[in-house]
């Protein structure tokens, strides 16, 4: 049975397979045409990769997944691999040059690409101290235009001028992706139901949207299982299995204080700073200094795992509801 495109869990590569957020696509292309370098920020599973891939295809750009890339050499190797069937360049010579001198090799490569768009996904993973100076040089001395996506930490923060690097003053424009609103989430499932020829009742749609709180990735997995013939409850169970594996890995990558904060947030809907600190200390059975707690909390906010709710006083809550469900179920 072929997977219905709208519910395909893999990142989308065309507008026809994409739902909503067309304004983000148009805005991204408009900024690139104006020589600005967009940075897409947002929670995980809210369509950032699909947006980059669609824009890359429409602008004949080069998409790079930086998930496993740490160094400039890794970036260069990935870029060269993407060029194998695209340009008439002596890639063997470039590979040798990049191996010996990654910065010079990359600069030489960009000089040969001309007016090209390079889209780097999960850019915060590149931790080379030379990357910012490389981008500065690329902006001043090549026609290549860049677009990025990532969490607002590390390199991503530096790109916006809020970090410790020296990329301030460059034409970086931040674009935010967010989960679907309740109504858009419902319309997504209704539309997918019609397109895929699968019957999903209004009650089931409402329950799924309430469960996944507009997170596009979980809604897509749910729709995919429904299109494969699984009933509502079974589809939700299977999404939970996937979420369990994914979220377990994401939690493991957090620092110890961050883990305490996330666990504390699974116990409440929203909470003030002082109460959250007290709850995290109670969970961890330890005292946490104000500075250490605030630093860890702001990292979670920047990573778009935690959101700040301003309704007269600042309150904090988890963005992805599956964190609460999985952590409580596993008893972490």
Question: In sequence order, what DSSP letters do the residues of 171-231 get, joined into one string?
Answer: -EEEEE--PPPHHHHHHHHHHHHHHHT----HHHHHHHHHHHTT-HHHHHHHHHHHHTT--
For residue 313, what pLDDT band results from cuts at 50, 70 and 90? confident
Q: For domain 21-176, give the CATH superfamily.
A: P-loop containing nucleotide triphosphate hydrolases (3.40.50.300)
pLDDT score for 271: 96
For residue 134, what pLDDT band results from cuts at 50, 70 and 90? confident
Total-model pTM = 0.89
Write out pLDDT tens, residues 240-299: 999 999 999 999 999 999 999 999 999 999 999 999 999 999 999 999 999 999 999 999
3-state DSSP: the chain helix, strand, coil percent, rounded to 5?
A: 55, 10, 35
Class of domain 182-250: mainly alpha
Structural domain boundaries in the chain: 21-176, 182-250, 254-330
Average pLDDT over residues 98-104: 78
**How far is the C-alpha of 271 from the C-alpha of 264, rounded, in Å?**
10
Helix (H) or strand (E) holding 286: none
Percentage of residues in the chain having pLDDT higher than 70: 90
Class of domain 254-330: mainly alpha
- Per the listing, tokens 């979420």 go with 243
Tokens representing 110?
């960009």
């Amino acid at each position: 049975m072929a997977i219905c495109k709208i519910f395909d869990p893999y990142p989308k590569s065309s507008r026809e397979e994409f739902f909503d957020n067309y304004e983000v696509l148009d805005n991204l292309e408009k900024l690139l045409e104006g020589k600005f370098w967009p940075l897409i920020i947002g929670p995980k599973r809210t369509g950032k990769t699909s947006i980059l891939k669609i824009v890359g295809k429409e602008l004949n750009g080069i998409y790079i997944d930086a998930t496993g890339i740490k160094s400039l050499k890794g970036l260069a190797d990935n870029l060269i691999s993407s060029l194998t069937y695209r340009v008439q360049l002596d890639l063997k010579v470039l590979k040798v040059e990049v191996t010996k001198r990654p910065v010079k090799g990359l600069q030489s490569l960009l000089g040969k690409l001309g007016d090209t768009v390079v889209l780097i996904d999960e850019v915060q993973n590149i931790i080379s101290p030379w990357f910012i100076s490389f981008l500065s040089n690329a902006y001043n001395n090549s026609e290549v235009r860049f677009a990025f996506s990532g969490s607002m930490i590390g390199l991503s923060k530096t790109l916006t001028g809020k970090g410790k690097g020296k990329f301030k003053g460059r034409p970086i424009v931040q674009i935010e992706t967010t989960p679907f609103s309740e109504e858009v989430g419902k319309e997504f499932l209704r539309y997918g139901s019609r397109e895929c020829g699968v019957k999903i009742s209004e009650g089931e749609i409402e329950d799924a949207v309430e469960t996944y709180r507009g997170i596009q990735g979980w809604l897509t997995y749910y729709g995919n299982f429904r299109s494969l013939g699984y009933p509502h409850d079974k589809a939700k169970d299977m999404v939970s299995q996937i979420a369990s594996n994914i979220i377990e890995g994401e939690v493991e990558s957090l620092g110890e204080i961050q883990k305490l904060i996330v666990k504390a947030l699974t116990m409440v809907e929203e909470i003030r700073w002082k109460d959250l600190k007290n709850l995290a200390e109670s969970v961890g059975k330890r005292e946490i200094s104000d500075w250490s707690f605030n630093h860890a909390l702001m990292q979670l906010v920047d990573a778009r795992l935690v959101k700040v709710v301003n309704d007269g006083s600042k309150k904090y809550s988890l963005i992805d509801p599956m964190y609460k469900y999985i952590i409580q179920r596993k008893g972490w």
